[in-house]
Every structure is written in structure tokens, then in C-alpha cells.
Homo-oligomer: A and B are copies of this chain.
Amino acid sequence: MYRGEAAKVLGEAKVGDRIRVLKGERSYEGVLMPRSELGDDKHVVIKLDNGYNIGIEVTGARIERLAQAEVAKGVSFPEPEFSPEKPEITILGTGGTIASKIDYATGAVHPSFSTAEIINAVPELAQVARVRTKLLFNILSENMTPEHWKKIAREVAKELNGGAYGTVVAHGTDTMSFTAAALAFMLKNLTKPVVFVGSQRSSDRPSSDAALNLIAAAKVATSDLAEVVVVMHSTTQDTACAIHRATKVRKMHSSRRDAFKSINALPLGEVDEEVRLFGNYKKRSEGEVYADSRLEERVALFKVYPGVSPELLEYCVDRYRGIVFEGTGLGHVPESLLPAIERAREEGVAMVMTTSTLYGRVDMKVYSTGRRLLNLGVIPGEDMLPEVAYVKLMHVLGVTQNYEEVRSLMLRNLAGEITERTLANAFY
């Protein structure tokens, strides 16, 4: 439904009415189309007599109501027309606020994700690319599992190999960084952009960030980047988005629009009217993308804290092939956990150490506790986020379960997840 500035300018005009929009020296005449709540409050969408749908910014515009709607209900979204010279991108829907909250003026509450509906919601997208959409599934991101990661990875590879210039994955924000990191490890020979995007504010709230994020994501999907990234608001202002490397990003606020932050790294770029990339990013090239969807799911992320029970770790040693510790400080655990860690080593369970501080890197040579853990075969996770090390260990154990190979792969920078030691402390 129209709200805010658009509603004010529309006055009495209702969806289905024939209206005239006067803006500067131009005037547009057509039928007022429904607008999804995903859209901002600055545009009205009308269907011109030639069948085209256009979005017009209402700032400085005046609207005349020419005729009342004959049938206000049941207006469907026409297929949008795209300029043939624009690059083609695919937006894959997986659920979450950005995909599922399109509640139409017509009363429909189905979680639609058709191209027509997306373009109606965010008409600016048509200026960026020829958009194709595909709803893979529609789940809240807290219900995302490694099985979903595999499906998304395969679908992204299919789209990119099928000719898409880039892909956007619309995803709930809760676990977006896990899925994005998983794809960063799974997609081999990536030659085009894979852009994760979500919305922190449900679109029924006036401060929704959905439209700007989606437009920015589409721009990045047509950029020179050949990496998996997350594109979300960089500030609370509705003006610009940051481009975060999938393996260095974390949701750091429960509700703010600028919740996503690059940790131990700078963002790869920013987007407002245009995309500005900086730093060392992998550039677009040619070649088939391959989705290596082997994942060892028997991996646990084990949080270390005073009073943590050694029995809990024993339980994990019995059931998992890999354990990522979210340790304290430079990578420590209480000595009460050492017997279980010793047994884990004997049983061939791969162990990786990360830090609960999130910022900074582990350094297990400084204190005796760290050195003991190194001697017990615990692999230092460098400056990897605990969540990223978890996803990476699933990937690595999917490839090999040989300890030396696992160790070597965990210490190697596979997808930008490890920042050079000399740089790590600068980004805080």
C-alpha cells in the first residue's frame, strides 16, 4: 500500500484509479498500480497506456485523479519490460523479510517472488539490470541448514553458468553470514559476483531498508567483482550500502539497519549511485563455476566459558568429526577441558581454535595454555570468525579427513577468510 510521501501526494487517488502525474515539464498518465510494502514511500507506480509499468518519484510531483477505478481489486502486476542492453542477473529468493513480506494492496499474503512483483516493489531495479527471479524456498533464516546451503550453491552455479552476469541471493539476516561463507567455500572457480542481501526491518515499517539494499545488491551483481559478498546498509541513513566479503562479515546488531560489519577486514567497497570497489578483490573473469557441495555435517561450534562442563565436550568428542572452539582471549580453554581434548585427538577429531573476542587473532604461543593446546593438535584459527571457521571446517572435512591435510587447508586462505597477520589488528 502507498504510505508516507507517496500517500500524501496521491491524496484521494486509489489503486486502480486512472491518474495523471505532473512532474516538472513532464506528465504521465495511466492506472495507479498496487505497490508492495517492500517499496519505499517515494515512488508511485503507474501502468501506461502502452502497457509499460513505470515508477515515478513523487518528490515535487502533483497528481490528478482522472477516473475512479472500475475494479480496484484484483489488479495483477504486468510483466516488466527491460532494456535489452542491460546485463541479466538472477535474484534467488530463500525467504526472510526481504522475500516473504510482500503484502499487496489486493490483500494477497502469499510469499510471492515473481519478477513482476519484485519490479513493482522496487522499480529502480529495472534501471540496473534485466532481472530474473527464482524462489528456491521460503524459510526464516534461523531454519537454514547445511542442506539449504548446498541447494543455494548449486542453483547459483547453474544460474551463473547459464548466462547470468551475476546473482543476488535474498536471505534472512539472522544466519545470512553462515550461508554466504558456506558459498564462498563451496563455489570453486567463481568468476562472477554472488551477492547476499536481506532486510533488517520488516517492510511494514516505514524505515525499511529492503529497497535500497536490493538495488545496491543488483548493482554489485553487475560489477567487476568475482566473490561472494554481503551487501547491506553501511549506516542508519538510507543512503549507502557496504560490500562485505562473505568470510569476514558478521551480524553485530539485532535490529539496526547497519547491523552487518566486516570484522578484522575492511569492506570490499561501497554502493550508492554507483559501485566503488577497493582493496584486493577477485576480479570478474570467464569460466565455469563449480559447486563443491561436500560438507561434513558432524562439526560442532563449542563455546568456552567459566564453568563449562567437560562432560559436554566429551559428548561432542563422541559424536563429531570436527570441533571449532570459541575460546577465550588469544585462544584458551580451561584446563578442565584438556582430558577431553586429548581424547578428541586420539580419536581423530579435528579441532580448531578461534576467539570469543571476535576481533583480533588467536596466538597460542604466548601463554602456556595455548602451547599445550597446540601440542594436542588444536589448529589455530588465525583471525577467522568462529562462525566462519565452523563453516570452513565442515567444508574441509567434506574434502578430506586426513589430519595433516585438514590442518594445511585450515591454515590456508581459501576464500579471503584469513587476514594477513600484519593487518589484523588495524581493523577494530
Contacts and interface: CB of A to CB of B under 8 A. Distances in A.
B305 A297 contact: no
Given A309-B319, A360-B259, A369 B253 contact: no
A127 interface: no
A306 B141 CA distance: 9
Interface string A337-375: 000000000000000000111111111001111000000
A252 interface: yes
User: How large, as a class, is the contact surface on chain A?
Assistant: 35 or more
Given A254-B330, A255-B363, A363-B254, A175 B306 contact: yes
Contacts of A251: 328-329, 356-357
B254 A362 contact: yes
Contacts of A174: 328-329, 332
Interface string A228-240: 0000000000000
A312 B309 contact: no
Given A255-B363, A315-B312, A144 B306 contact: yes
Contact of A255 (B149, B308, B330): B330
Interface string A249-278: 011111110110000000000000000000
Given A251-B357, A252-B359, A255-B363, A142 B309 contact: no
A81 interface: no
A5 B393 CA distance: 47
Interface of A: 140-146, 149, 172-175, 178-179, 202, 250-256, 258-259, 297, 299-301, 303-309, 311-312, 315-316, 319, 326-336, 355-363, 366-369, 387, 390, 394, 425, 428
